Amino acid sequence: MAVAERTQTQKLTFFTYPSCTSCRKAKAWLAENGVNYEERHLFKNPPTAEELLDIIKMTSNGLDEILSTRSQRFKNLDVDINDMSVKELLEMLSEEPQLLKRPILTDGENLIVGFNSSAMQNLLS
């Protein structure tokens, strides 16, 4: 199986939140396909500012791809993210991981945000 073979050479990190429906779907897909990964609880062990910078570098749309602008937490923010420096923004996201879309799955070179089984299959094949 190509999926299982690929995971032996690449470390996958899966940022998840247990009550998130998309996270549960992604976790089930990974289990069904025998994929090994490091699971990180997004709120208990959030990505650092440095990890977030690496994640943003893997996106095609930058911050918009990982920032959950529809979340209540984001709507309640009393800041304009356009006025923030990159460093300030990354630190805020690390301290407030509720502002991130989820799940986030990365092998260090590629990124999948949200549950997308075809993207997961492509990443792992």
> Among the ranges 24-28, 58-62, 69-73, which has the highest mean pLDDT value?
24-28
pLDDT class of 41 with cuts at 50, 70, 90: very high
* Averaged confidence pLDDT in the chain: 89
Residue 3 reports pLDDT greater than 90: no
113 to 13, 29, 59, 84, 97: CA distances (angstroms): 12, 14, 9, 23, 14
To the nearest whole percent, how much of the chain has pLDDT over 90? 72
Tell which wins on pLDDT, 111 or 6.
Answer: 111
Residue 30 reports pLDDT greater than 70: yes
Instruction: Please compute the mean of the pLDDT values over residues 56-81 and round it to a whole number.
Output: 88
Tell which wins on pLDDT, 45 or 77.
Answer: 45
Question: Would you list the domain boundaries of the chain?
Answer: 11-122
Instruction: Give the tens place of pLDDT for each residue, 16-29.
Output: 999 999 999 999 99
23 in active site: no
Residue 9 reports pLDDT greater than 80: no
Instruction: Please compute the mean of the pLDDT values over residues 51-60 and round it to a whole number.
Output: 95
Please state the pTM of the whole predicted model: 0.86
| Superfamily of structural domain 11-122 | Glutaredoxin (3.40.30.10)
Q: Which of 3, 10, 20, 65 is catalytic?
A: 20
